[in-house]
Chains A and B, each alone.
Chain A
């Protein structure tokens, strides 16, 4: 079974530039998550989708971050403009059942470095 796919795997940009990340969840998984993991910290949920609707985006910095999930499958996360503190790994995950994280699988992540 194919896992969660993410691209790009690495991205280096300068502050104030824009960047976008893409995620393709496991087939059939209705729930999709974007997490931010800063070095030395645990993953922090940015946004959670159920199909193409947003369930939780309370920790998404909406002045610069945006996310969408087209047709309830693939998702993109955008940062515009980027700040130095956005340097982190951005993890996408998908799950079959949102109340059972044991069904949640993570993608390999996108490592972002903002200079």
Chain B
């Protein structure tokens, strides 16, 4: 079983829509969770950390569900510029080691 699994999408949504992605992780001992954004042919960049209490940054909200072992990313009022691949990152048994999901592709259309 993969450490981190994501729906590859693509999610095709109109501008202004709300969209949510989930990411499941296999290691119940994982403590650190993050969402990265990767634009086409670019390197990944940190979007936000996911805290136990949830985390909100403008139109973006990240949540953690430990019982079901998944994290989520909610994007409100989608913009064309939100089109990208969103990568979920989770640490393993070794806090030093992090696993990337395969990413969920989002296309925001006019």
A interface residues with partner B (beta carbon < 8 Å): 35, 40-45, 48, 55-56, 91, 98-99, 101-102, 104, 106-109
Contact = CB atoms under 8 A, between A and B. Distances in A.
User: Which range holds the interface residue count of chain B?
Assistant: 20 to 34
Contacts of B91: 101
Contact of A44 (B94, B95, B96, B100): B100
Contacts, number: 47
Given A42-B102, A98-B96, A99-B95, A106 B34 contact: no
Interface string B85-110: 00101010011111111110000000
A101 B34 CA distance: 8
Contacts of A48: 96-97
Given A42-B87, A56-B94, 14 more contacts: A41-B103, A42-B102, A43-B87, A43-B100, A45-B97, A45-B99, A56-B97, A98-B96, A101-B46, A101-B89, A102-B34, A104-B46, A106-B43, A108-B43
A56 B96 contact: yes
Interface of B: 4, 8, 32, 34, 42-46, 49, 87, 89, 91, 94-103
Nearest to B33: A101
A32 to B, nearest CB: 13
Residue of A42, A98, A99, A109 ringed by the most chain B CB atoms within 10 A: A42
Contacts of A44: 100
Given A40-B8, A40-B102, A101-B34, A91 B43 contact: yes
B102 A106 contact: no
A41 B45 CA distance: 16
